[in-house]
Amino acid sequence: MTTQESFLIEGGHSLHGSVRCSGAKNSILPLVAAAIAVRDTVTFQNVPDISDLQSLLTLIQAMGVKVVSFKDAELVLDTRGPIATRVENTNGYSLRGTQTLVGALLAREHRAMLPSLGGCNIGARPIDLHIKGLRAMGTQFEWREGYLVGQAPALKACDVYLDFPSVGATENLLLAASLAEGTTRIFNAAQEPEVYDLISFLNKAGARIVPVFPFGFRIEGVNELHGASHSIIGDRIEASTLMVATAITQGETKISGVDARHVWSVIAKLRETGAVVEVEGDDTVTVKGVPDYRSTDIRTLTFPGYPTDAQPQMTAYLTLAHGNSVVVESIFENRFGAILELERMGAHIKVADETAIIEGVDSLNSAIVQAKDLRGGSALVLAGLAAHGTTTVKSIYHIDRGYEALETKLAQLGGHVTRVNQMEA
């Protein structure tokens, strides 16, 4: 018997009040890798306390990085000492956030050894584009005893075209190119806000990166980077989750700490359903949900299109819309993991390949459901908030990977969500 944490969610309480978003999960993970390339003391503010970050910190401490302090959302790292180039999967937990350690280690030590990557169970998630780009810069790769081994005695600048604007591949190339000899250009680079956040930090640390029209970056390599301090952007996916949570409970909330330009697609889609969404100042969005909201269609795309990380939450919302909705998932091939569980709660959804067709129902019922991945898990929490009765969401360690105290924020808004320990056979 082992214990597992679950959420118990008493549905039917609409969300009201104000809440502030934490810093972005998808910023802090590559930023920690960037700190290694910097080889100095770095300070990050607005850092989310999420388990993916804790796992990454454990892993880099084993490599020789000093975590000087992590309190009040400020993280100080000292990466001046010797650093092991082999990344050990000590806790048996594979972490997609380690992918940018490749670029950082190659830039700093000219060598990197990584175990196979993990993260959410949402698709094959190959790293061919990372390898293609880093190879073009002079890295030799081979697989040795389950490790990807990269060696680059001298990283040389080059022109790289990404067949797909992969976030991780773009970040790895930005890191490697920052300390390479010459000027690198990345074409068809990812344009996600977290990529720009990484660039903003790297430039503060002495890198020379500029955007080039259209959709690329030019990186003039420098000999070394230096310590810097950086406050990371708000988490647009957490903001999107809270916005949809408000709409599905027909509540009214003010969500601050997020740049509204980063959540425009979600704002647009909520408005299409009839929800009232307004932007206040630079960093606040207000949401007012309405009863009998309309269906809509979404297609996930790279930024500024609708984010794949906010697709399961919108899918949960659309199960209760008036009419039929079509959701097309075009980024990850296996991101409908929450749908079977939503059906157990009374949702009507048909899935064919990358398309889900949702026939709106009048109500959802409570059930015992299982989080299978991070964002799918949060979608089940939203469904639970709107369902009749008390829903149990199991395996919430998936949710803790990327949300800082989700239940506390929802409770602050009047949601009835409690974390409990349950015995598992």
Helices (H) and strands (E) in the chain, counts: 13, 23
Give least dist CB 249 to ligand UD1, A: 25
54 scored as a contact of ligand UD1 (CB under 6 A): no
Do the strands 66-71 and 111-115 form a parallel or antiparallel pair, or are they unpaired? unpaired
Nearest distance in Å: CB 425, ligand UD1: 32
- The single residue of 28, 32, 59, 120 carrying the catalytic annotation is 120
Choose, by CB under 6 A, the member of 97, 138, 150, 312 that binds ligand UD1.
97
Name residue 18's beta-bridge partners. 254
Tell me phi and psi for residue 141, to 5 degrees: -115, 145
Nearest to ligand UD1 of 15, 120 (CB atom): 120
Q: What is the largest CA-CA distance in the chain?
A: 62
Tell me the H-state helices in 319-416.
339-344, 374-386, 397-400, 406-412
Name which position in 28, 29, 47, 112 contacts ligand UD1 (CB under 6 A): 29
- Of the listed pieces 70-78, 122-130, 214-222, 408-416, which binds ligand UD1 according to CB under 6 A? 122-130
| Angstrom distance (rounded) from CA 98 to CA 116 | 10
Total interface residues for ligand UD1 by CB under 6 A: 23
> Is 26 a binder of ligand UD1 (CB under 6 A)?
yes
Q: Does 309 bind ligand UD1 (CB under 6 A)?
A: yes
Is 193 a binder of ligand UD1 (CB under 6 A)? no
Amino acid identity of 262? Answer: H
127 binds ligand UD1 (CB under 6 A): yes
Q: Tell me 293's DSSP state.
A: P
E strand residue ranges, 72-123: 74-78, 111-115
- Is 120 considered catalytic here? yes
For the bound state, the minimum distance from the C-beta of residue 322 to ligand UD1, rounded and expressed in Å, comes to 29
Residue 338 near residue 315 (C-beta atoms within 8 A): yes
Candidate list 60, 129, 232, 396; residue touching ligand UD1; CB under 6 A: 129
Q: At what angle do helices 25-38 and 193-204 cross, to 10 degrees?
A: 30
Q: Verify binding: residue 332, ligand UD1, rule CB under 6 A.
A: yes
By annotation, the residues acting in catalysis are 120
Q: Which residues bind ligand UD1 (CB under 6 A)?
A: 26, 29, 96-97, 123-130, 164, 166-169, 190, 192, 308-309, 331-332
